[in-house]
Amino acid sequence: MTSSDAVLSEKPTAADNNDFSTGYRYYVLGLLLAIYTANYMDRMILGILLQPIKADLGASDTMMGLLTGLMFAVFYATMGMPIAYWADRGSRKTIITLALTIWSGMTVVCGLAANYWQLAVARMFVGVGEAGGSPPSHSIIADLFEMNKRSTALAIFALGVPLGLLFGFPLAGRIYEAWGWRMAFMSLGAPGLLLAVLAFFTLREPPRGMSEHVQQDDTGDTPAFLDVWAFMWSQKSLRHLIAGTTLAALVGYAGVNWLPSFLGLSHGMSTKQIGDSLALLIGIGGLIGTFGGGYFADYLGRKDVKWKSRVVGATILGIFPIGILVYMTDNTSIALGGILFTSIAGTVYLGPTFALVQSLVAVRMRAMGAAIMLFILNLFGMSIGPTMTGVLSDFYRPIYGDHSVRWALFTVGFVSLWAGFHFFRAAIYLKADLERVEEMNAEG
């Protein structure tokens, strides 16, 4: 361990356990939730502003798809690896605070972009900053909450996704209509800088492995990236979980980024109407789905651990027909109602998957495990989903005109069936893989 690592590491010890009361644990969870909400607001603001930015900067649907997908996701995914390696051996608090400062500051800079390429560069740096948010947060939460409470705890953390949309979409829509899209970026980026100050002064790290009572300090050996990757690949349940999560995210990111355009072009809704409607429908639906997925995964998992994965697969497959209806109906009320149900189903996977990844790797692999999962999810899910939708929209435009986005989203929606299959396959191997990790942690 180098001297710089010693400075960055807080090195909590067994004696520090008394400092982590139930109240403080939930304060940390609440603070990390607030940070993740800011993360998602800054990430998804582009979706509600897609059409006005496209018109202002003279971009195509493919260019905007790249901006919401590949250009952001590549940096977000790849930077997560070295940051996670640091998080498994250094101060997770330092990483979270620094990352929050970077992505919030660069969101403000997005509002200053004079052309498409300047905006693209700023968004890349938003991705770099956001790469340092989730892996260390997952690791801290896993150390604070035992396995039978972990899906619920990480589901509460994942509420940052629907809360980010619930607050971000209407705020961005209103600010855009009053002052333009540039002020929307600057206004939504600024609060994260205040959260960074709060995190710096109030966030403390739990001892590593505290929830399993196998505490390890920062002087131990941290597995190398390839070792963690090889171990995760050897866990059959984890392979299927990550595949299912990636495919579910592909559909979800395509929808969140392109639903505003679909509602505007195919249903004639204004930017304000879209922002208000999607904030309520995706936000409330996401709150129900995210918390409900984590709660029921923990509840049903106490009787049979396989349900921690099955509950996700059953929900995704069960709601699929409603997802098809959303894009095929010309009735705006039916389409909006369907979006509520698909938003519930589309977020059920967050809590159970985040928790299972933390439970299916050893204690000192947690941040890297989360980073690898997020790398795959974002490289293929976040980048391909919105980008594919933009490319398909341009492909369909000569045939369907302004309804091309509708048919692009309809096509992408069938990937949900593939996602559901993997969650059921993961359940088959889950018990044996969890027992393997339990033995590893006991051996230290």
Is residue 410 assigned to a domain?
yes
Is residue 215 assigned to a domain?
no
**pLDDT tens-digit profile of 159-176?**
888 888 788 878 888 888
> What is the C-alpha separation between 212 and 206, in angstroms, rounded?
12
Residue 214's pLDDT is what?
Answer: 59
**pLDDT tens-digit profile of 264-297?**
889 988 877 887 888 888 888 888 988 888 888 8
> What is the C-alpha separation between 444 and 364, in angstroms, rounded?
9
**pLDDT tens-digit profile of 321-337?**
998 999 999 999 999 99
Q: How would residue 444 be classed by pLDDT, with cut points 50, 70 and 90? A: low
Is residue 15 assigned to a domain?
no
Contact 116, 349 (CB under 8 A): no
Question: In this structure, what CATH number is given to the domain that contains residue 244?
Answer: 1.20.1250.20
Tokens 């589901």: give the residue. Answer: 155
Closest CA to 162 of 67, 235, 28, 256: 256
> Three-state SS across the chain?
CCHHHHHHCCCCCHHHHHHCCHHHHHHHHHHHHHHHHHHHHHHHHHHHCHHHHHHHHCCCHHHHHHHHCHHHHHHHHHHHHHHHHHHCCCCHHHHHHHHHHHHHHHHHHHCCCCCHHHHHHHHHHHHHHHCCCHHHHHHHHHHHCCHHHHHHHHHHHHCHHHHHHHHHHHHHHHHHHHHCHHHHHHHHHHHHHHHHHHHHHHCCCCCECHHHCCCECCCCCCCCHHHHHHHHHHCHHHHHHHHHHHHHHHHHHHHHHHHHHHHHHHHCCCHHHHHHHHHHHHHHHHHHHHHHHHHHHHHHHCCCCCHHHHHHHHHHHHHHHHHHHHHHCCCHHHHHHHHHHHHHHHHCCHHHHHHHHHHCCCHHHHHHHHHHHHHHHHHHHHHHHHHHHHHHHHHHHHHHHHHHHHHHHHHHHCHHHHHHHHHHHHHHHHHHHHHHHHHHHHHC
Is residue 59 assigned to a domain?
yes
Work out the burial of residue 432: count CB atoms within 10 Å of its CB; fewer than 13 is exposed, 13-18 middle, 19 or more buried. exposed
Is residue 13 assigned to a domain?
no
Domain of 158? 20-208+222-443
Tallying the residues shown for the chain, one arrives at: 444
Is residue 11 assigned to a domain?
no
Is residue 342 assigned to a domain?
yes
Percent pLDDT > 90 in the chain is 29
> What is the C-alpha separation between 62 and 405, in angstroms, rounded?
11
Is residue 425 assigned to a domain?
yes
- Tell me how many domains the chain contains: 1
- Rg (alpha carbons) of the chain, rounded to whole number: 21
**pLDDT tens-digit profile of 21-51?**
888 899 999 999 999 999 888 877 777 787 7
**pLDDT tens-digit profile of 75-98?**
777 787 788 778 777 788 999 999
Above 50 in pLDDT, residue 407? yes
Above 60 in pLDDT, residue 194? yes
Above 70 in pLDDT, residue 435? yes
- φ, ψ dihedrals at 208, nearest 5°: -65, 130
> What is the C-alpha separation between 403 and 370, in angstroms, rounded?
38
Residue 311's pLDDT is what?
Answer: 92
Contact 408, 258 (CB under 8 A): yes
> What is the C-alpha separation between 122 and 107, in angstroms, rounded?
7
pTM comes to 0.71
Residue 169's pLDDT is what?
Answer: 78
Per the DSSP assignment, residues forming a β-bridge with 216 are 208
